[in-house]
A and B are shown apart, each in its own frame.
Chain A
Amino acid sequence: MSGKTHVTTTINGERTEFLCEPRQSLLEVLRDELGLTGTKEGCNNGNCGACNVTLNGALVNSCCVLAVETQDAEVRTVEGVAAGDHLHPLQRSFLENAALQCGICTPGFIVAAKALLEKEPDADEARIRHWLAGNLCRCTGYDKIVRAVLDAAAEMRRAPAGA
C-alpha cells in the first residue's frame, strides 16, 4: 500500500490538514476523514453532481478529484453555504419551494446553483437549466428546483450578500 500523504488545504475558509492515501477521492476524505457528510455520494463516476464542491472557485465533482490534488487549494462544500444558523437564500428557497424529496441531490444542487449565481446573478431559466444539467434528481422532475433557484436569484439581486 502507498503511504499516507499529508495534505494542507483550506475548506470553507478554514485551514485544514489531513492524511490520505493517494487513491482516496476528495469526496471520500470529506465524508470519511473530515466528517463533512453534507457532500453526498451518488454515482461516484462524475454523472450525477451529488458530490459537487468548488475547488479554487470552480464547480467540480469531488468523486473525480483525488484528495492529494487539493494541497494548497481552496475547497468549499455545502457546509460552508449557510452563515452559522442563517440559511443562504438558496437554502431557504429550496425549503419554501419544496424543491427536494429524498434530499440526496440537494447539497449538490445548492453548491452548483450558488456557483452560478455568484458568477451570473441575472441567470435566466434557460441558463439555470443548462448549468444544472450535470446535477441529477430522480424525485422532483426538476421544475421545483429551477423555480427555487429563480426565486433565490431574485432575492439575491434585491439584497446582494454583504450589502
Chain B
Amino acid sequence: MQDFEYVAPRTLDEAVGVLSKHGPAARVLAGGTDLIVQTRENRRDVSVMMDVKHVPETMELRLDAGGLTVGAAVPCARIYGDAEIARRYPALIDSASLIGGIQVQSRASLGGNLCNASPAADSIPTLIALGAVCRIAGPDGRREAPVEEFCTAPGRNQLAPNELLVSLAFPAPPAHAGAAFERFIPRNEMDIAVCNAAASVTLSADGATFVSARVAVGAVAPTPLFIRAAADALAGQPVGAAAIDRAVEAVRAAAQPITDMRGSAAQRRHLAGVLARRVIERAVERARTA
C-alpha cells in the first residue's frame, strides 16, 4: 500500500486543523471499507490518514424528542443494533443492514457511504427520503447542508478539503409517517445496486391521504437523485394507484441511467419505477401501522 502518516485527533478542532494543514491528500478514515481498499489500489492519493473515530462527535448515536443524530463514523451494525432506532427509522435499517456483509457493517458508516458519493450508494436514497441534514465542521465553524445537495458527481461531494462531515441529523418522524428502502441486485447479498430507491410518506390521520412525501433513487444518475416531482405527485392526493402511478412516472422521467456491466439504461429506468412503487407502497404500509 502507498505510504502515509496516521493521525487520530481527539477533538473536532484538532481534526479540522489536520485537514487545513495537509489539504486534499489528508483523507478521513472512518470504517475504511472504501478508503483502505481505494488507497491500496492507488485510486486515492493519501499522505495522511486521519482516523476520526476518537472524535466523540463522529461516534455519537443519540435518539431524543428532536430526532436522531448519527455521528459520521458510527458503524452500521451499531445503528441496526439499537431497537428503538430500528422501530422509529426502519428505512435506515433497510439500508444499514444490506451494505456489504456483516464484516463490512461492523465498520462501515453512513457518513462514509455518503462522503464516498457512489451513485449506487445504498444509504444515500434513504438519507434523502428521511430529510437528513449534514452537519459539517470547518475552519470557520459549523455549517449544515441538506443531504440531497451533498454529492456533486461520482466520488465527489461538496466538502472543501478542510471540512469534515461530523454527523447526520434526522428529524423526528411525524405521526402517521413511514419510510422504506429497496435495491435490486442479481444476487441475494453482497453486491452493488443496479438500482435502488427510498421513499418516506406522511399520511392523514385516517391514512387515506398523502400529506407529504420524499422519494429518492440511486444508480440512475451521476449522483443519487431527490425526485421532487414524485413528491409533488403524491402530496395532497388520496392514497391509491392514481397518485402512485404519477409518482412512478416522475421517477422514470427524472432518471438518466447509463448502460454498464451491471445493467442497461432501459433496465435501470424500468427498475427505478418498479422500486419507487414498492418503496412508496411499503412506506404507506409502515405509516398505517406505525
Contacts and interface: CB of A to CB of B under 8 A. Distances in A.
A46 B104 contact: yes
Contacts of A22: 3-6, 49
Interface size, B (range):
20 to 34
B101 interface: yes
A45 B37 contact: yes
A59 B103 contact: yes
Given A130-B189, A133-B188, A134-B100, A2 B33 contact: no
B102 interface: yes
A45 B40 contact: yes
Interface string A48-72: 0100100100111101111011000
A58 B189 contact: no
B100 A5 contact: no
A1 B107 contact: no
A112 B106 CA distance: 12
Interface in A31-45: 44-45
A25 interface: yes
Interface string A8-49: 000000000000011111000000000000000000111101
A1 B3 contact: yes
Best-surrounded residue of A22, A64, A133 (most CB of chain B within 10 A) = A64
Nearest to B189: A133
A61 B106 CA distance: 9
A106 interface: no
Interface residues of A, number: 32
Contact of A46 (B5, B6, B37, B77): B37
27 contacts: A2-B4, A2-B6, A5-B6, A22-B4, A45-B37, A45-B40, A45-B41, A46-B37, A47-B190, A52-B103, A59-B103, A60-B103, A60-B106, A61-B104, A61-B107, A64-B32, A64-B33, A64-B104, A66-B6, A66-B29, A66-B49, A69-B51, A112-B103, A133-B101, A133-B189, A134-B101, A134-B102
Interface of A: 1-2, 5, 21-25, 44-47, 49, 52, 55, 58-61, 63-66, 68-69, 112, 115, 130-131, 133-135
Interface of B: 1-6, 29, 31-33, 36-37, 39-41, 49, 51, 53, 75, 77, 100-104, 106-107, 188-190
7 smallest A-B Cβ distances: which pairs? A134-B101, A22-B6, A133-B189, A58-B106, A23-B1, A61-B103, A134-B103
